[in-house]
Amino acid sequence: MSSNTVQLIALVSGMLSYVVNLYFVFNILRVDYFNPVVKIFVKIFKPLSQLAFFVPNQAILALVIASLLKFFGFYIAYGVDYGIANLLIIALLATLNITLQIILYSIIGAVIISWVAQGNDHPLLRLIEEISFKVLSPIKNIIPAMGGLDISPLIGLVFIQYLQSFIGGLIQSLV
């Protein structure tokens, strides 16, 4: 295979991993399944979940499939240089890092939405706000708003950045 074909396969595998990872985020946060955006992901993922009927938890299935797609892309791109066990662990860590990245962008998006389009009823905006709310609600329970200023997004972003740097260090140690 040519290097362009290998790069294209790795790119498509990575993109599919992101789609399945979004479904994983929807499952772990138990977002509103009546949201039209979430319904699209459920329709896309339903055939895969029917094939893997032996896995009862959809979130675990989504994590496994996203990790396997990442592994496939890594194996196509770097398989000769690294062992399969290392690539599997790196793929799992990269999948968790993508999950954190999705949550990070949702928090940033929800903050921007609160400034610009508060109360907008668009399904995508509602989904972003719901993801952010579900991630930040434990922080809001511990640290309430101070004088009308909610600092929970800032704390959440710092915590997610810390987790991402920790996972990035683990990946670096395996490479």
**DSSP characters over 4-39:** HHHHHHHHHHHHHHHHHHHHHHHHHHT--TTSHHHH
For 15, 51, 60, 83, the CA distances from 87, given in Å and listed in that order, are: 18, 25, 19, 6
CA pair distance 97, 169, nearest whole angstrom: 11
DSSP 8-state secondary structure symbol assigned to residue 87: H
Question: CB-based contacts of 55: which residues, under 8 Å, 6+ apart?
Answer: 49, 61, 64
Average pLDDT, integer, range 52-59: 76
User: Which tens digits make up the pLDDT trace of 103-151?
Assistant: 999 999 999 998 887 778 888 999 999 999 999 999 988 887 777 788 8
Average pLDDT, integer, range 62-81: 83
Q: What's the confidence (pLDDT) of residue 160?
A: 95
Average pLDDT, integer, range 144-162: 87
Q: What's the confidence (pLDDT) of residue 108?
A: 94
